[in-house]
Amino acid sequence: MKAPVKHLITAAFAAVTLVAAPLALAADLTDVGAIDQAAIGSMPAFVSANGQLAQYKAGLDRQFAVAIKGAHSAADQQRVAQSFQQKLLDRQRTVMGPLFARAQTAIASVSSSKNLSVVVDKRIVIFGGQDITKNVMDLLTSPGAIVPPVSTPPPSEVGYVDQAAIDKIPKLKAASEDFAKYDNDQKIAARQQMAKAKTDADRKAIFENYNKTVGAQRDKVLKPLVDQTQSVIADIAKKKNLILVIDKGDLIYGGTDITSDVQNALK
């Protein structure tokens, strides 16, 4: 009697072990960090740099107003606008560049010390993850140079795509431009109707009609492409064993870039 029971117990434990096997094989994703970028941006060094940049831009705007008056052709105007845009970018690079570089090093250093494979914007994390904002701020305010980590971030199962680059794929760009033109035409027509509308009820009807027309066009022109893009991203992510994909705009450090794979698949 004893022996069969013992065998039964052994068999039962074996079964439990088999059922629970994936548990042991797959560890939970704990190497995800998050940063509150607004908090970093409100640090005195960043505030002061932004102030300098704003002041420089105000001066540049005045110079631009004078310079553009002297540009008579469209080409001249474009040249003047580009030249001022470049000046602003150069100053931005000079003023903000060193601060961004220091912040990047601080983030990399903290991430490395906490074994994080990816750091994202805190706005997309609603629960959990490791908030490293304070650690990064402490490091940023410490005197002297910040020592960068020796190693690059480990491979991450969190992927990312540069949505802006995806949007530049010819067929997506064309669809997006067509829609923008349609939206603009509808807006102009709605504004003209608004100007003649006599009552609030008329205005409401015009606005609702505008929304309905533009919404229908969006569903017709953009939605199929958005769905196709998402499907392609999901397929590539599966092949690369990623667990999720975020937009590059929400990524701060690490992650796995699948933008080029998505671009190639969509071409």
Residues numbered 110-169 forming contacts with another protein, rule: CB under 8 A: 120, 123-129, 157, 159-161, 163
Residues 59-88, one symbol each (x = binds another protein by CB under 8 A, - = not), give x--x--------------------------
Does 3 contact another protein by CB under 8 A?
Answer: no
Q: Are 71 and 80 in contact (CB under 8 A)?
A: yes
Among 6-14, 131-139, 147-155, 174-182, which window interacts with another protein (CB under 8 A)? 6-14
**C-alpha distance from residue 108 to each of 13, 111, 160, 197 (Å):** 45, 5, 18, 58
| 121 φ/ψ sector (left φ>0, alpha ψ -120 to 50, else beta) | beta
Please identify which residue in 105, 203, 221, 222 interacts with another protein, judged by CB under 8 A.
203
Cα 52 to Cα 54: distance, rounded to the nearest angstrom: 5
Q: Which helix (H) or strand (E) holds 160?
A: strand 158-161
Q: What dihedral angle (degrees, nearest 10) is formed by the CA atoms of 85, 89, 95, 100? A: 150
Cα 59 to Cα 50: distance, rounded to the nearest angstrom: 14
Cα 245 to Cα 234: distance, rounded to the nearest angstrom: 8
Q: Which helix (H) or strand (E) holds 134?
A: helix 133-141
- CB-nearer residue toward another protein: 19 or 66: 19
Residues 160-199, one symbol each (x = binds another protein by CB under 8 A, - = not), give xx-x-----------------------x--xxx-xxx-x-
Among 37-45, 108-116, 168-176, 238-246, which window interacts with another protein (CB under 8 A)? 238-246
- Give contact residues for another protein (rule: CB under 8 A): 1-2, 5-6, 8-9, 12-13, 15-16, 19-20, 22-23, 25-30, 32, 55, 58-59, 62, 120, 123-129, 157, 159-161, 163, 187, 190-192, 194-196, 198, 203-204, 207, 210-211, 230, 233-234, 237-238, 242-247
